Structure 1
Amino acid sequence: MSATRALLTLACLVAPALGATYAQTDSYQGSDFLSGFTHEAIADPTHGRVNYVDQATAVAQNLTYASGDTLILRADDTTVLSASDPGRSSVRLQSNNVYSNHVTVWNIRHMPQGCGTWPAVWEYGQDWPNQGEIDILEGVNDHATDQATLHTTSGCTVGGTRTMTGTSVGDNCDVNATGNSGCGVTSNDASSYGPAFNAAGGGFYAMERSDAGVKVWFWSRNSGAIPSDVLGGATSVDTDNWGTPFADFPSASCDMASHFGPHNIVINLTFCGDWAGAVFAADGCPGDCTTYVDENPSAFTNAYFDVAWLKVYQ
C-alpha cells in the first residue's frame, strides 16, 4: 500500500506540469529585441520586393527603434525605387533562442497596413519544412482578417473535430501537396488584422504549442474578455482559462513530435511576393504590385509594427 500511495503522490506532483500552466522563460521588451533577436539581411524566401537590412543599417535608417516599452519595425517610406534596386528596405528579426513546446503572448499596438504589404509574426524550424512552421499573425494588402497556418511535411492533417471560432481554409498541412499554402484558419474578428486592428489600438496574440497540437487566440485591445494573465504579461499563464481559440490544429492526425522541431520566432515585413503579389489586384489594389511598391514610398507611412512586448512560456 505504501508503494501505491507513493506513486499516487508522485502523479499528483507531476500532473500540473502536464496541464495548461506554463512559466515565463523569456521576456522581450524594447531593447531586449536588439539583443535577443538578429536582423536577418537575407534574400526573401517568399520572393518579395524587399531588401532586408542588418541591425546597424536598420537602426541608422530608423527602420528599427527600440526604447522603453516600445519596439518599432518599419519599412523605408521615402525612397522611390528603380527596377535595378533590390527592393524596399525593411526588416526581418529572428530570435536567438529556440523553443519546442511553449506559449507565446504578443502585445502589439500597431501592425503594417497598406496595399503590397505582407507582415507576419511566426516561427519555424531551421530544417524547413521538416521541423514545421506556425504562422500566428499574417495577411496581405489589408485583406480581411488574420490567418493562422501550419506548414509541414506529408502526413499532417487537421480535419475532424476542432474547437475554434475561426474558419478553416485547408486541412492538409503538407507544403508539397498544397503549393506551400498549408492548413490555415482565418479569424472571424474584423479587428484581428490591418486598419481595423490599428484603429482599436492593436491587441494580443497568443499561441500554444503542445503535444496535443497548436492553438492561436486573439483579443482586441478594447475587448473586455482579455485574460488577466495575458493582459498583464504574468510570470505564469493558464491557457485553459483563455476560452475558445480562433484557430485549433489538433494532433489527432498530425503527430507533433515528427512534424515540429525547435523553432525560432520571427517578425518581418515583406512586400508583394508569393502571396501579396499574387492577390494584389483581387484585393482592390492599383496596377501591379512591384510597380506600386517601387513608385509610392509614401504609401508605406503606416507600414510598421509597434510592439509593446513578447513573453514566452514553457
Structure 2
Amino acid sequence: MFSARPFLAFAALTTSALAATYSQVDSYVGSQFLSGFQHMAIADPTDGRVNYVDQATALQKNLTFTSDSTLIIRADDTTVLDASGPGRDSVRLMSNNVYENHVTVWNIRHMPQGCGTWPAVWEFGQDWPNQGEIDILEGVNDQGTDQATLHTTAGCTVTGAQQTGSAVGTDCDVYTTGNSGCSTLSSQATSYGPTFNANGGGFYAMERSNSGVKVWFWPRGSAIPSDVANGATSVDTDNWGTPFADFPSTTCDMASHFGPHNLVINLTFCGDWAGIASIFNGDGCPGDCATYVNQNPGAFTNAYFDVAWLKIYE
C-alpha cells in the first residue's frame, strides 16, 4: 500500500524539522499524479453513497483527467442510481510515498460542491488511528468554511493555539469524541465550496513538525507568500504568518500519536457526516441524502477537484 522514503530523505527530515525551512522532496503535476498516487477502489470507510473506482475505470469514464498542468478527479454526473446497487462512481487517490515531519502545499483551482458532497484533502497512517490523521481541507454540503482536524488515540489534546480560526473541541481522541477529533474552522469565506470556486481557488499548506501541526489557506488574488505561490524548491514557514489552524504539541506528543502518513484526496457522498439528516437538511438540502445522490446526477456537474500541483517538503 505504501513505500518507505529513502534513507537520505529521512535524514533530511530530521534536520529540517528543527527549523522552519524545508526542502522540496516530491512534486506532482498533471500525469505525475497517475504514477505517484493509487486509485483506491475500496469500500468507503465513512459509509458514503459512493463507488470508488480503479485507475483504468476512472480514466475510461473520464473521472480522472490529466494535462501538462492539471489533475481533474470527479464523480459521475450522468447516471441515475438503483437504490439497491452501488453508490455514485468517484475517485479516491492515495500517495505511494509516506511522510513524517513535512510540509505540503496544494495549489487547487476548484473543489467539489453541491448537496451530498464530502470532499477532503488529508493524510493518515496505515495503522489508524494509532498513527494519526490530519485533515487539511474538508467539509460537506457547501456549508460554511474549511475545517482542519486531527484524529488520534488517547492522550492528545490541543491548548494554547495561535490561530485565526475558531477551535471546535480540543480532545483529538477518536474514541472519546465519536471520531470527531479536534478541529478548527477557518474564518475565511473563500476557504471552501462555491465561494472558493468562484474566487478561482487558492493554496492550502500544512506543516507537521515536532512542535505540532499548522494549516494555512490563501485565496487566489491575496497576498500569498512567494515561496508558496511559486512552488519554490524550499519554503520557510516562519514567513507565512499566523495559520488558521494551530495544533501545538504542548499537550500532544507528536512522536507517539503520528507515524508515516500517506496523502489522500477524495470525494465521497452522504455517509457519516454529510448524510446525517439534521446536517443535510440543515444545509438547505432536500429530502434524504442517499435518495438525492441516487436520483440527481446532474446536481454533481461541479463535483470535481481541479488541482494545479502539489509540492512536498522535508
Instruction: Provide TM-score, normalisation by structure 2.
Output: 0.94
Counterpart for residue 274 of structure 2: 276
Aligned ranges for residues 223-234 of structure 1 at < 5 Å? 223=222, 225-234=223-232
Counterpart for residue 161 of structure 2: 162
Counterpart for residue 181 of structure 1: 180
- The one-letter code matched in structure 1 to 2:256 is S
For 2:83 and 2:198, the matched residues in 1 are separated by 34
**1:17 positional shift:** 6.3
Q: Does 1:307 align with 2:297?
A: no
Aligned ranges for residues 164-313 of structure 1 at < 5 Å? 164-223=163-222, 225-278=223-276, 279-313=279-313
For 2:289 and 2:236, the matched residues in 1 are separated by 43
- The one-letter code matched in structure 2 to 1:211 is N
Residue aligned with 2:242, SS = coil
Residue aligned with 1:268, SS = strand
**1:222 positional shift:** 1.6
Identity %: 78
Counterpart for residue 114 of structure 1: 114
Counterpart for residue 10 of structure 1: none
Counterpart for residue 7 of structure 2: none
Aligned ranges for residues 12-161 of structure 1 at < 5 Å? 18-159=18-159, 161=160
For 1:32 and 1:16, the matched residues in 2 are separated by 25
Residue aligned with 1:165, SS = coil
- Provide closer, same or farther for how the CA distance between residues 120 and 69 of structure 1 changes in structure 2, counting only shifts above 3 A: same
Residue aligned with 2:280, SS = coil
For 1:155 and 1:299, the matched residues in 2 are separated by 42
- The one-letter code matched in structure 1 to 2:60 is A
Question: Would you say the 8 A contact 2:50–2:268 is kept in 1?
Answer: yes
Question: Would you say the 8 A contact 2:23–2:313 is kept in 1?
Answer: yes
Deviations 1:35-83 (A, max 9, x none): 0000000000000000000000000000000110100000000000011
- The one-letter code matched in structure 2 to 1:247 is A
- The one-letter code matched in structure 2 to 1:194 is G
For 2:25 and 2:19, the matched residues in 1 are separated by 17
**1:19 positional shift:** 1.0
- Provide closer, same or farther for how the CA distance between residues 17 and 295 of structure 1 changes in structure 2, counting only shifts above 3 A: closer
- The one-letter code matched in structure 1 to 2:129 is P
Q: Which runs of 4+ in 1 moved over 4 A?
A: 14-17
- Structure of greater Rg: 1
Residue aligned with 1:59, SS = helix
For 2:33 and 2:87, the matched residues in 1 are separated by 24
For 1:85 and 1:73, the matched residues in 2 are separated by 22
Instruction: Provide TM-score, normalisation by structure 1.
Output: 0.94
Question: Would you say the 8 A contact 2:16–2:22 is kept in 1?
Answer: no
For 2:116 and 2:105, the matched residues in 1 are separated by 27
For 1:282 and 1:174, the matched residues in 2 are separated by 27
**1:18 positional shift:** 1.8
**1:15 positional shift:** 8.1
Residue aligned with 2:283, SS = coil
Residue aligned with 2:251, SS = coil
Question: Would you say the 8 A contact 2:17–2:101 is kept in 1?
Answer: no
The size of the alignment, in residue pairs, is: 299
Deviations 1:170-225 (A, max 9, x none): 100000000000000000000000000000000000000000000000000021x2
**1:284 positional shift:** 1.0
Question: Would you say the 8 A contact 2:39–2:94 is kept in 1?
Answer: yes
Unaligned runs of 5+ residues in structure 2 are 1-13
- Provide closer, same or farther for how the CA distance between residues 171 and 17 of structure 1 changes in structure 2, counting only shifts above 3 A: closer
- The one-letter code matched in structure 2 to 1:180 is N
- The one-letter code matched in structure 1 to 2:236 is D
